[in-house]
């Protein structure tokens, strides 16, 4: 939601005492509050006045022979200074920490490749422009030229070089400019997506190139205090159906085993009209689970999703189970993020589809400090 993607809001409550010798409560960041007015292209760029931000991409691709792949590439920014920057003329000043996660799923061979980057701003080590659509972490890059967004990331002869063009207009999640994640002021994010983007380019897996086409999903979120302390994790779904509709859903899991009432979603029709879904408008029912061979975490591995008022009934299944990013330094833990296939019905008519699911908080309670 990932991108709500990912992650750190629950995973990393940064220890500002370590970073600057300040108490984090003394730092002032803008809060995600009702009434925010989006402006573009400004809101494609970095929002340094907010503490957390990410640019999240996943996609379902295939080559000319029909061989299927999935990918994820996400860039994260975490601010350390707030509205009162520490005066320090050094080019190595640490005012932001930048993370990036990249995965490639080889569905035919059931092989999952994942990589991470952690950098401070330094001298062009990593960054995100506040006046242009450019984000980078070393040589992993996100750039834009007119209506085309370009992703490049390569590690150990595996990676992506893709061009993405929106097929549908932006979708703004939640209500009144914010997506609520809790009841306290600021427990929210500014959250928008491109839910279907025409994608073409190359995947590289262990040095072998694949020319691919397909569709991608882009999430953008920025916030400063999005989650409340009663949460242990979340399940997030981005679903693209072959009737040209899309569904985003997330359910926030609480320590007491219940689902947080601020869990929600968005339904996007083929004609691009979309509407907000409150928790009472959908159900997500896990139907099986499997144990990770890497972390022993028990993850749900199949789901039934129902939207009764729209007469939507879906079964969501991972394209293969082993799509876990584990022992990550950047989040001091692990999470599952993988390509899924969809089948079911809408108003009695059969549908199929592809998508991505993100599962956070199943391995352990994650450390709440800066990575080593």
CATH of the domain at 237: 2.40.370.10
Q: Are 107 and 339 in contact (CB under 8 A)?
A: yes
Whether 98 has a pLDDT exceeding 60, the answer reads yes
Evaluate whether residue 25 is within a structural domain: no
Query: Residue 18's pLDDT is what?
Result: 38
More reliable by pLDDT, 371 or 344:
344
8 A C-beta contact, residue 237 and residue 248: yes
Query: Does 155 fall in a domain?
Result: yes
Q: Kindly state the DSSP code that residue 36 receives in the 8-state scheme.
A: -
Asked if residue 1 belongs to a domain, the reply is: no
Query: Has residue 176 been placed in a domain?
Result: yes
The domain tally of the chain equals 1
CB crowding 189-204: b at 16 or more within 10 Å, else e: bbbbbbbbbebebebb
If you write DSSP's letter for every residue of 195-238 in order, what string do you get? EEEEEEEEEEETTEEEEEEEEEEEEEEEESS---TTEEEEEEEE
Q: What is the 3-state secondary structure (H, E, C) of 51-69?
A: CEEEEEEEEEEEECCCCEE
Q: What integer best gives the mean pLDDT of the chain?
A: 89
The neighbouring-strand residues paired with 267 are 247, 275
Residue 84: predicted pLDDT: 66
**pLDDT surpasses 50 at 251:** yes
Sign of the Cα pseudo-torsion (357, 360, 364, 370, in order): positive
**Dihedral, CA of residue 218, residue 219, residue 222 and residue 225, to nearest 10:** -160
**Which whole number is the average pLDDT over 258-281?**
97
Q: What pLDDT score was predicted for residue 99?
A: 93
CA–CA dist 357, 323 (Å, integer): 10
d(CA 264, CA 257): 17
Q: How confident is the model at residue 121 (pLDDT cuts 50, 70, 90)?
A: confident
361 has a pLDDT exceeding 60: yes
Cβ–Cβ < 8 Å for 30, 178: no
Q: Quote the pLDDT of residue 372.
A: 40
Q: What percent of the chain has pLDDT over 90?
A: 76
Question: Domain for residue 27, yes or no?
Answer: no
Q: Looking at residue 27, what is its pLDDT?
A: 62
Of 151-160, 281-290, 308-317, 359-368, the range with the lowest mean pLDDT is 359-368
Residue 370 has pLDDT above 60, yes or no: no
Comparing 153-157, 176-180, 299-303, the range with the smallest average pLDDT is: 176-180
What are the contacts of 324-328 at 24+ separation with CB within 8 A?
Answer: 324/112, 324/292, 324/294, 324/295, 324/297, 324/299, 325/101, 325/103, 325/114, 325/116, 326/292, 326/294, 326/295, 326/363, 327/294, 327/295, 328/101, 328/116
pLDDT tens readout for residues 38-68: 999 999 999 999 999 999 999 999 999 999 9
Amino acid 185: pLDDT:
82
Contact 79, 50 (CB under 8 A): yes
Q: 120: burial class by Cβ within 10 Å (0-12, 13-18, 19+)?
A: middle
CB 162 within 8 A of CB 170: no
Rg (CA), the chain: 19
Residue 100 DSSP SS3: strand
* 365 located within any domain: no
d(CA 159, CA 203): 6
Residue 366 DSSP class: P
Rounded Cα–Cα distance for residues 353 and 343 (Å): 6
Q: What's the pLDDT at 87?
A: 67
Q: Check whether 305 has a pLDDT greater than 80.
A: yes
**pLDDT (average), residues 73-88:** 81
CA distance 199 to 163: 6
Q: Provide the pLDDT confidence category of residue 28 given band limits of 50, 70 and 90.
A: confident
The partner residues of 208 in beta bridges, in order of sequence, read 205
pTM value is 0.92
Residue 210 reports pLDDT greater than 60: yes
pLDDT in tens, 132-143: 999 999 999 999
Three-state SS at 19: helix
How far apart (Å, rounded) are the C-alpha atoms in residues 252 and 230? 10
So what's the pLDDT on residue 39? 96
The secondary element (H helix, E strand) that includes residue 74 is: strand 68-79
What does the pLDDT look like over 1-15, one tens digit per residue? 544 333 444 344 444
The DSSP bridge partners found for residue 237 are 249, 357
The gap from C-alpha 358 to its chain's centroid, in whole angstroms, comes to 8
> Has residue 50 been placed in a domain?
yes
Asked if the structure places residue 369 within a domain, the reply is no
Q: Give the model's pLDDT for residue 6.
A: 38
Distance, CA of 327 to CA of 116 (rounded, Å): 11
Inform me whether the pLDDT recorded for 17 exceeds 90.
no
Q: How far apart are the C-alpha atoms of 23 and 70, rounded to whole Å?
A: 41
Domain interval for residue 115: 8-20+42-360
pLDDT for position 86? 66
């Amino acid at each position: 939601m990932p991108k709500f993607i990912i992650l750190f809001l629950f995973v990393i409550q940064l220890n500002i005492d370590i970073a600057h010798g300040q108490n984090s409560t003394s730092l002032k960041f803008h809060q995600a509050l009702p009434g925010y007015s989006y402006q573009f292209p400004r809101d494609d760029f970095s929002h340094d006045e907010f503490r957390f931000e990410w640019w999240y991409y996943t996609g379902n691709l295939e080559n000319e022979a029909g061989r299927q792949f999935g990918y994820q590439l996400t860039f994260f920014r975490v601010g350390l200074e707030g509205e009162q920057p520490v005066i320090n003329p050094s080019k190595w000043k640490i005012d932001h920490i930048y993370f990036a996660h990249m995965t490639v799923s080889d569905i035919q061979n059931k092989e999952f490749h994942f990589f991470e980057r952690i950098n401070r701003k330094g001298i062009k080590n990593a960054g995100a422009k506040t006046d242009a659509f450019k984000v980078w972490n070393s040589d992993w890059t996100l750039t834009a030229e007119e209506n085309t967004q370009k992703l490049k990331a390569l590690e150990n002869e595996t990676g992506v070089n893709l061009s993405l063009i929106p097929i549908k207009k932006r979708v703004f999640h939640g209500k009144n400019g914010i997506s609520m994640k809790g009841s306290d002021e600021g427990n929210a994010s500014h959250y928008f997506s491109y839910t279907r983007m025409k994608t073409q380019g190359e995947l590289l897996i262990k040095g072998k190139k694949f020319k691919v086409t397909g569709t991608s999903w882009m999430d953008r979120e920025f916030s400063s205090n999005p989650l409340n302390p009663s949460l242990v994790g979340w399940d997030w779904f981005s679903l693209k159906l072959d009737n040209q509709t899309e569904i985003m859903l997330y359910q926030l899991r609480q320590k007491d085993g219940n689902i947080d009432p601020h869990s929600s979603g968005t339904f996007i029709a083929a004609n691009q009209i979309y509407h907000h879904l409150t928790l009472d408008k959908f159900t997500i029912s896990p139907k099986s689970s499997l144990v990770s061979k890497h972390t022993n975490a028990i993850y749900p591995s199949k789901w039934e999703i129902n939207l009764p008022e729209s007469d939507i009934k879906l079964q969501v299944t991972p394209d293969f189970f082993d799509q876990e990013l584990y022992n990550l330094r950047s989040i001091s833990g692990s999470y599952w993020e993988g390509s899924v296939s969809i089948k079911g019905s809408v108003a009695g008519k059969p549908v199929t589809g592809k998508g991505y699911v993100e599962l956070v908080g199943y391995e352990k309670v994650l450390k709440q400090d800066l990575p080593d």
